[in-house]
Amino acid sequence: MRVVFVHGACVRDGSWWWHRAARLLQERGVASVSPALPSCGEAGVPPGAGGPGLTEDVAAVRQVLRDGDAPTIVVAHSYGGIVAAEAAAGVGSVRHLVLVSSYLPEIGQSLSEFGDGTPAPFLDVDPDTGTFGVRPELLVDTFLQDCDSDVQTQAPAHLTRQSVQVTGQPVGAAAWHHVPSTYLVCTQDKGTPARLQREFARRAGRVVELDAGHHPFLSQAAAVGDLLLSLQGTRR
């Protein structure tokens, strides 16, 4: 088995965000990888108007999923659920989708349809550059309040601005229709409140709740690792 981690919006260096869960999996002989998302500037092209968007993110993740035939669990966080919905569709090696405080879009839905039409207060949107990002001064209190000081200190260096066009681009496929799925509700999440997560999770085949903030793979890596290891025998 292998695990493919798909990180959320406005961050870069996915391997850092997932490193605690990835280390625990490695100790149990499970390999993992976190693809770079072009819309976050991780492919050498700066994010912004006319730059990479959802299509490029989907292609990047899909390429990694097709690189090998080992049974694969796709773990998507927040915006990553939008990407994974299309990227994992029709890939035979994908055995399970795990959505962490994330979205399960239907075909034709976009990220913007999961909000109320106004930018979240913790986001800074710049129409001139066509980018958006997390307000650094709100990062810890909104997303990392249950993480230790090491994570809280290091995390700002792994933020980035992202192309705002990803919020309005619809997905062309919905892998959760055909692939078993588990939704991990993070009950202490201040970015995406639990009540909203539970609404999103209605489309998942199974729902698990964890008393954690937005990044449980950093604050409670063992719990996340155990969940993923429990899915090793998943069959389609």
Give 142-154 pLDDT, tens digit per residue. Answer: 999 999 999 999 9
Query: Looking at this protein, which amino acid is placed at residue 192?
Result: T
Query: Do residues 76 and 14 touch, judged by C-beta distance below 8 A?
Result: no
Show me where the domains of the chain are located: 2-229
Q: pLDDT tier at 234 (50, 70, 90 boundaries)?
A: low
Query: Do residues 227 and 208 touch, judged by C-beta distance below 8 A?
Result: yes
Domain 2-229 has CATH 3.40.50.1820: yes
Enter the DSSP assignment of 75.
Answer: E
The single residue listed with the structure tokens 């199974």 is 206
> pLDDT of 165-220, one tens digit each?
999 999 999 999 999 999 999 999 999 999 999 999 999 999 999 999 999 999 99
User: Cα–Cα distances in Å, from 193 out to 24, 102, 114, 216?
Assistant: 27, 11, 12, 14
* CA separation for the pair 208, 66 (Å, rounded): 28
